[in-house]
Structure 1
Amino acid sequence: MVGTGERQKRIPCGNDKQKGNDKLKSNGNYKARCMASLSYRTAARIAAREMRSSRGKFFFVILSVAIGVAALTGVRGFSSSFRGTLLTRARSIMAADLSARMQGEPTPEEAKGLAAIQAEGVEVTLVTEQLSMASAVKTMDPLLVSVKAVDAAKYPFYGEVDLEPAAKLTDVLQGDNVAVADDLLVRLKLQRGDQIRIGNTSFRIASVVTNEPDRLSGSFAAGPRVLMSRTALESTGLLAPGNHATERYLFKVPAPKNGSPISDDAVAELKTRLVALLPEAQVIDYRETNPALTQGLDQATSLLSLMSLVALVLGAVGVAMAMRAHLAQRLDTIAIMKSLGAQSGQIVKIYLLQTLLLGTLGGLIGVVMGVGVQMAFPYLLKNLINVAPDLHIDPRAIAAGLGAGILTTLLFTLPPLLDIRDVRPILILRRAMDEEDGPFLAGLAKKIWDSIAQIVAFAFILLGLTLIALRVSDSPVVGKWFAVGLAGVLGVLLAASFVVLRTLRFFLSRTRLHLPSAVRHGLANLYRPGNPSAALLAALGMGVMQIMMVFLMQHAVVTSLAITSRPNLPNVFLVDIAHDEIDGMRKLLAASPEITAPPELLPVATSRIAAVDGVPASELKLKNFPKRMLQTVQLTWAAAPPPGTTIAKGAWWTDAQAADGAAHPLVAVAERPAERLGLHVGSTVSFAAQDREFTATVAAITKSDGQHAFSRAEFYLPEKTLAGLPVVWYGGVHADPAKVALLQRALYAAYPTVTVINVAQALETIRSVVIQIIYVVQFLAAFSIFAGVVILASSIAGTRYRRMREVVVLKTLGATRTRIATVFSIEFAVLGLVAGVVGIFFADVIVHFLLKSLSVPDGVEWGLSFAGLLLTAVLTVGTGWLASHRILGQKPLEVLREE
């Protein structure tokens, strides 16, 4: 009774303690009414006092929240900064945010719209590209050249034009000066400082162009490049009415005033306006300049979003397990409070405020750690990615991380908090004895009925995490599948925990006498009264799923990106190889030491499109695809999908269908022209080539990586279909970038009519960006996995306090340390294996759908899955013992004195 009186005095009641004690003597129910008026301030004081007295127990809670928020803030903050830097480099490949290519001048209405866009702060510059003839005094033979006129004061918006000798473009393109490609000097036998004549004007060669930032997005016209100012082009007289110049408008979106990177939404909005304003123009943004780069950016964005979500949920799982272990330790205190008249609502209020305090404390520590991680990443990665991101601390991102951490902490602590309602005062005497549920079905029905509040709590968890996922994720696809997968795995894990424990109980009841005693006791431990096995099984399974999702996703994405960043992809392209030159060209390329990979040679027949699905070309309604482009399309043949080409829809023809290609033509169409022409599998396209006209059925829609010579072709047909048509060959080779000039000279000497286009530097830029993406993805994935393992380890370690009493009982009954260690090891291993099987299965399923939506090649990684299963078991056993080994050394009397 002394203890009870002291406990009563410690329960506060209003501001007048003595008055409360007097009323208690006259009214036994006053204490209950007094507890009903428990203020939040008093509840917070009680919660804080308990936190101070149990610092060690709350370490795992704060650690889980801090690591989760740190991973979320650090990974999200750094990936955002790094992505902004990468996107700036991607913009340099186009030299702008957007490009609108059109033939001829815009109409007055279009010019008015462009002026309105420029008045809103969008920078605009015009790049004119045109074919012309150039000649020199030394060699009177004219040469076809590709003239490019720019405003050097604005062009390029991003990137730099590399000149030899090094100089600024504004300083070079003065007066009658021009910059030319090295192959022009070779062909006309000129040197820097010599004169060339283009149109009506003579120009001085002031510099040599070694690289243009927009070389890949510009025109691949036949002939060496001549770069001049717009004033110089006007003096040539080439811009006469009716000329065939290509006008390419470049746009730069104004940066936000707060210093953050230009958003994709702003670029997309401007693109939508330009598509509507310029119906005859081809409008693309900086992400569409190279398929490999676009793919890398999209996949990296989705994967980094997934890492942020995983860090968030794993932190919440750790919090839930730590709070569950803490509340399990406080059951006696809760039962005593209830025996003194406290209601479940007041006790929940105390522990809810305690959860808020822990979540806020862990969140603040996590934010500080996350900012530190974000600032440290560039130094750790500087030798790998060779780029310094423009780091900026975004208060909104910090607030989002802190808010998400506190919210997930509250959500995942709801189930253990609701368990307080079921704590009865008699628990002081009966401890954690379970009531017999009866038959299986009856027990299941009773558990479901008793768990209505828990089911509602889990529904709130799923709803809250879905909203957070959609808010935190930069990818709607990742956010959607993440939420679906989380809902599925939670439901399955909860059901699996119940089924597994019931199955074990049934199994042991039939085989109890045939199993070694250590195995029997270890399995029985999983369903002993008060054991948190079900919760731990669900937490471990969810954690394993999240970690394996990150690992499998990064493995597939990195493998895919590594293919597009291979060092032997074509970087020199050959244009207009005559049919009678192809055999000699093959021999020359095979004997050239500068070439480091087998050449790719592509036959092309020129045709025009006469009709689509029976509709004449003149009546087609096309969007951002000028009808004059239907007059010249390029056809080629291939027996199978060429390197770098994949089938997006449909199927490639068989050998039998190819043999029948003349009677029943089939065609495979590239994705972009198929979209613009409205083609799908089963559509028909009528081609008119020379004096022949034939109609082909679309058998497949193809997708090209843009890295091979075969990417030039848009329509693939069987060879027999094109038999007899005149063809011109195109080629692509990979040469040592430092020796491209030697290759150009050798090719010109043997085949002076073949144009050599050197894009080695431009492709090297893309390759370096993709490699940087790979390194960052691998590094951040490793960091996220490490954080997840630490959180799971803390969740397992949080159960150590629950095991103290078990060890005391076993030791009192005469069990040795070895026997106890064996029993616990079997329990940990079974937990790990069951959670691993369920978690890895769901990870494989979700990753399959994620990779499919991101167009990433997918395959079942049985080896990785099996390794993940073994590591889960090892982690569970190892972590359990790292946290619990000291318990074995405690004497029973030491623990019993604390009871």
Structure 2
Amino acid sequence: MAWRDAKASKVRLILFMSSIILGISAVVSIQLFSTNLKDNIQRQSKSLMGADFIIDSKQIPSERAQTIIDSLQPDAYEVNFVSMITFPKSGGTKLVKVRGLEGEFPFYGEIETEPTVAADTYQESGGALVDATLLLQFNAKPGDSIKIGKLTLPISGALKAIPGSTAISTSVAPLVVIPYRFIATTELLQFGSRKEYQYFYKASDTLNMTNLESKIGPQLDFEDADLDTHTSTTKRLGRRYDNLGKFLNLAAFIALLLGCIGIASSVHIYIKEKLSAIAVLKCMGASRLQSFLIFIIQIAGIGILGGLIGSLIGAALQEIFPYLLKDFLPFTIEMNLSAQPIFMGVFLGLFMAVLFALLSLLHTWYVSPLEVLRVDEQAVKEPVGIRILVFSIILIFLFLFSFWLLRDALYALFFVGATLLTFALLTGVALIFIKTIKRFFPKRWSFPLRQSLLNLFRPNNQTVVLVVAIGLGTFLISTLYFTKDILLAKTEVGQGTENANIIVLDVQPAQVDAVAHNIKSKGLPILNNIPLVTMRMHSIKGQPVNVLRQDSTRHVRGWILNHEFRTTYRDSLVSSEKLDKGKWTPRIASGDPVLISISDNIAADANITVGDAVVFNVQGVLMETTVGSIRKVDWTQIQLNFSIVFPVGVLEQAPQFNVFTTKAPDEASSAAFQRDLVAEFPNVSIIDLRQVFTVVEDILDKVSWVINFMAFFSILTGIIVLTGSVRTSKYQRIKESVLLRTLGAKNAQILKISAFEYVFLGLLGSLVGILLALVSSLCLAVFVFKEPFAPSAIPFLVFLPGITLLVLAIGLSSIQTVLRSSPLEVLRRER
């Protein structure tokens, strides 16, 4: 019986299934991708690093650290640093990361170059491998030359990829690889230079990395060096991409929820139309269980088949994700098919289809033949206790599935709560809109407009479901655009005269006056001349750092104990700082206690507060200080911010270097200034904040593509729900059309009525979604980012009319059947 009835309603049931297929395909594709991502990280862990383990140090290794490094016999080593390079042919300059390599690195994976032979010959030929994008930017090619400090080298090849780097990491500072033996010739490794020494090892398969970390790691930490193994890097990468997978899974889960809500609404109308058939069956002796099973078998079949088709589509869709995320992945993913997500998709399709259709299916159990034969227009109500039980099961399932995705009960609870709140707000707005129309009905409007509004709350209307489906998809995409504008606003380089857009780093003490003169000679202002002093913490609250490193019960974060702090001294706060605790000390006299100001993150991670003692090692000299104040620092502002600030009168005689900031009016003057300054002072590094802003915008655009891809599932699900709604309520519309034509309405008027109804639905759904996104983004701007909110116009100019027109097109696509139906045909059916 279930099969026979399904064949008669196959078009309608296929639309039900489409909602399930779309949601399942989203979940399964992401599950498969996440599984493949973890497997690839495991398989390619050595290729990601290019070695079995690495020892690195931010300074020349101490004697003890060098002894440990040498005892393990490194197979290759490098020093890397950030510097400006010049292309003599064009005169262009660029901030890059220079890697001076010695040895046969990498041991796993390979350096990809064009021509391919360059990766093998650059060491012997004494050439440089230059980032391929950088060569295109400056119109250079292999055979040309680059200048790094005092050194000029030929370009051996274009560098496409090297283990340990990603497209995102090289966006700000592209890579240049040169032989290690030329590093000294550059004369760039001076006091204050940001450099890193790395030693690469190829180990035997029998070496236990965990034992190596536990034995050597603490000794190197004691000497301000670090040990990274391919296994620890794998775990770190796995955690990083696991968070991405969780986000994408939740986005797909929302699309699946939308589809299930569409099923619940469509099944409600479908079952309501079947009540007369169920009454006849019961009159012929069918039991409650039999009539209930007929339709639950249909829905279960839809769930299983939809889950299977969705899983197969998801398996194909997973191939898209490596292209969407290629700029965020440091390796090429090899995609394989695993059975677990496929089985999960089929089970999910079955369970969610039945679960969300259960309330409507219960009508078949509780309806009596007499009630249906009397053609009671009121829906049959099942007991309140049963409804509460079904709702409880749905909520428990949502929580458990979210917990399975997130592996955190609190986050799962927050996600379910936020999802319910969003659905409730969308539902509430739709209901308020309907009640408002009823109360303040525009009686003076034209007949088609008035009738289209009446259709929004006619029997079997799906206004609430469509507003939720359309609104949620619009909400997701609009929130993305609004939030992206907030993030860009926080990184945007201002146009006022007080905002710097060029930072000049690594200016040595002997060069300060000459660099200042060079800046002024170009007609540019010196906005800041900031001294920098490097130091490390020697003891915290009387406990030596070396002792704290060995204390597993300490309340101090590990990075505090190993970090080399770049500090400054000044007599006032800057715009990105706000005093939180204590009293700001602008300057001190000789012999007075040294009262420093620290940022709130340092206070939390070092477990110190106002009045606590901290001893610093300033280039071999111990300096006793006391925390005098704690500042809140807005690190998102692109300017020079400091964790530790000394008062004037303490560090003036300490070894230091300077940072200048200035403002160039346009890109041409900025490029000319950089070219001339690097030619005169090869050791300085220049950051053009315009380029940084461009990189940030590019990264956010790439993230936008990923989120848009997931929001697309929600929008598409909403479209399917809308199409199902139109098909499901078509007979209801045919009856309305007959009545209207009997009263004298023409086809053109009926067409206008339907068109206006779908315009109202599209406008209401998309407008509610955009307004909710506006409110949520405003809250993010005020409470999270603490930034003025200037919303993007794209959602209002593109999404609002675009989605409205889409809803109108889908709604009118099946109106021809309504218009062609004759009154006699319908009246005969009613008999």
Letter in 1 for 2:478: L
Letter in 2 for 1:397: P
CA distance 1:854–1:325, shift in 2 (3 Å): farther
Q: What is the rounded CA distance, in whole Å, between the counterparts of 1:302 and 1:852 in structure 2?
A: 26
Query: Kindly, what percent of the aligned residue pairs are identical?
Result: 21
Number of the residue aligned with 2:91: none
Number of the residue aligned with 1:56: 11
Q: Does 1:889 align with 2:792?
A: no
Q: Does 1:411 align with 2:342?
A: no
- The structural deviation recorded for 1:543 is 1.8
- The structural deviation recorded for 1:328 is 2.3
Q: What is the rounded CA distance, in whole Å, between the counterparts of 1:402 and 1:252 in structure 2?
A: 45
CA distance 1:770–1:837, shift in 2 (3 Å): closer
- The structural deviation recorded for 1:422 is 3.9
| Contact 1:89–1:159 (CA under 8 A) maintained in structure 2 | no
Q: What is the rounded CA distance, in whole Å, between the counterparts of 1:274 and 1:759 in structure 2?
A: 41
Q: Does 1:420 align with 2:364?
A: yes
Q: What is the rounded CA distance, in whole Å, between the counterparts of 1:283 and 1:298 in structure 2?
A: 23
Q: Which structure 2 segments of 5+ residues have no match? A: 82-96, 131-143, 171-175, 185-194, 495-499, 549-553
Q: Does 1:330 align with 2:274?
A: yes
Number of the residue aligned with 2:404: 471
CA distance 1:845–1:106, shift in 2 (3 Å): farther
- The TM-score normalised by the length of structure 2 is 0.68
**Which whole-Å deviations, capped at 9, do the CAs of 1:745-790 have from their partners, x for residues lacking one?**
96576347x4659999x99999899478336426524643542342
| Contact 2:479–2:773 (CA under 8 A) maintained in structure 1 | no
- The structural deviation recorded for 1:374 is 3.9
Number of the residue aligned with 2:106: 155
CA distance 1:314–1:721, shift in 2 (3 Å): farther
| Contact 2:569–2:645 (CA under 8 A) maintained in structure 1 | yes
- The structural deviation recorded for 1:53 is 1.9
Q: What is the rounded CA distance, in whole Å, between the counterparts of 2:160 and 2:28 in structure 1?
A: 42
Q: What is the rounded CA distance, in whole Å, between the counterparts of 2:454 and 2:688 in structure 1?
A: 68
Q: Does 1:805 align with 2:735?
A: yes
Q: Does 1:488 align with 2:488?
A: no
- The structural deviation recorded for 1:417 is 0.9
- The structural deviation recorded for 1:700 is 3.0
- The structural deviation recorded for 1:890 is 1.0
Q: Does 1:551 align with 2:477?
A: yes
| Contact 2:569–2:646 (CA under 8 A) maintained in structure 1 | yes
Rg: which structure is higher?
1
Number of the residue aligned with 1:67: 22
Q: What is the rounded CA distance, in whole Å, between the counterparts of 2:241 and 2:419 in structure 1?
A: 25
Q: What is the rounded CA distance, in whole Å, between the counterparts of 1:189 and 1:524 in structure 2?
A: 80
Letter in 2 for 1:339: C
Q: What is the rounded CA distance, in whole Å, between the counterparts of 1:351 and 1:433 in structure 2?
A: 21
Name whichever of 206-215 and 322-331 sits farther off. 206-215
Number of the residue aligned with 1:584: 514
CA distance 1:322–1:668, shift in 2 (3 Å): same
Letter in 2 for 1:54: S
Q: What is the rounded CA distance, in whole Å, between the counterparts of 1:822 and 1:208 in structure 2?
A: 63
| Contact 1:71–1:787 (CA under 8 A) maintained in structure 2 | no
| Contact 1:638–1:719 (CA under 8 A) maintained in structure 2 | yes
CA distance 1:310–1:611, shift in 2 (3 Å): same
Q: What is the rounded CA distance, in whole Å, between the counterparts of 1:575 and 1:211 in structure 2?
A: 29
**Which whole-Å deviations, capped at 9, do the CAs of 1:507-529 have from their partners, x for residues lacking one?**
27xx797777666655554555x
- The structural deviation recorded for 1:842 is 5.5
Counterparts of 1:504-653 in structure 2, within 5 Å, are 507=439, 522-528=452-458, 531-533=459-461, 536-555=462-481, 558-559=484-485, 574-578=505-509, 581-586=511-516, 588=518, 602-606=530-534, 609=537, 612=540, 622=556, 624=558, 634-635=567-568, 637=570, 651=578
Letter in 1 for 2:723: S
Q: What is the rounded CA distance, in whole Å, between the counterparts of 2:47 and 2:526 in structure 1?
A: 30
Q: What is the rounded CA distance, in whole Å, between the counterparts of 1:88 and 1:639 in structure 2?
A: 53
- The structural deviation recorded for 1:665 is 5.8
Number of the residue aligned with 2:293: 349
What SS does structure 2 have at the residue aligned with 1:605?
A: strand
Q: What is the rounded CA distance, in whole Å, between the counterparts of 2:788 and 2:39 in structure 1?
A: 28
What SS does structure 2 have at the residue aligned with 1:330?
A: helix
What SS does structure 2 have at the residue aligned with 1:393?
A: coil
**Which whole-Å deviations, capped at 9, do the CAs of 1:25-55 have from their partners, x for residues lacking one?**
xxxxxxxxxxxxxxxxxxxxx1111111222
Q: What is the rounded CA distance, in whole Å, between the counterparts of 2:77 and 2:338 in structure 1?
A: 37
**Which whole-Å deviations, capped at 9, do the CAs of 1:611-634 have from their partners, x for residues lacking one?**
64677778765553586867x753
- The structural deviation recorded for 1:333 is 0.6
Q: Which structure 1 segments of 5+ residues have no match? A: 1-45, 119-123, 132-145, 193-204, 219-223, 234-244, 256-266, 436-445
CA distance 1:403–1:618, shift in 2 (3 Å): closer
* Count of residues in Structure 1 that have an aligned counterpart in Structure 2: 752
**Which whole-Å deviations, capped at 9, do the CAs of 1:826-872 have from their partners, x for residues lacking one?**
65566556655665566566778899999898958485676666666
Q: What is the rounded CA distance, in whole Å, between the counterparts of 2:203 and 2:474 in structure 1?
A: 39
Q: What is the rounded CA distance, in whole Å, between the counterparts of 2:179 and 2:267 in structure 1?
A: 69
Number of the residue aligned with 1:259: none
Q: What is the rounded CA distance, in whole Å, between the counterparts of 2:769 and 2:740 in structure 1?
A: 32
- The structural deviation recorded for 1:729 is 0.9
Q: What is the rounded CA distance, in whole Å, between the counterparts of 2:752 and 2:156 in structure 1?
A: 83
Q: What is the rounded CA distance, in whole Å, between the counterparts of 2:484 and 2:410 in structure 1?
A: 19
CA distance 1:376–1:283, shift in 2 (3 Å): closer
- The structural deviation recorded for 1:418 is 1.7
**Which whole-Å deviations, capped at 9, do the CAs of 1:800-837 have from their partners, x for residues lacking one?**
23323333344344444455455555655665566556
CA distance 1:608–1:272, shift in 2 (3 Å): closer
Number of the residue aligned with 2:597: 667
| Contact 1:572–1:733 (CA under 8 A) maintained in structure 2 | yes
Letter in 1 for 2:19: S
Query: What RMSD over aligned residues (CA atoms) do the two structures have, in Å?
Result: 6.6
Number of the residue aligned with 2:709: 780
- The TM-score normalised by the length of structure 1 is 0.63
- The structural deviation recorded for 1:359 is 1.9
Letter in 2 for 1:369: I
| Contact 1:538–1:835 (CA under 8 A) maintained in structure 2 | no
| Contact 1:309–1:472 (CA under 8 A) maintained in structure 2 | no
Q: What is the rounded CA distance, in whole Å, between the counterparts of 2:487 and 2:75 in structure 1?
A: 33
| Contact 1:408–1:465 (CA under 8 A) maintained in structure 2 | no
Q: What is the rounded CA distance, in whole Å, between the counterparts of 1:286 and 1:759 in structure 2?
A: 35
Number of the residue aligned with 2:192: none
| Contact 1:571–1:763 (CA under 8 A) maintained in structure 2 | no
Counterparts of 1:434-449 in structure 2, within 5 Å, are 434=378
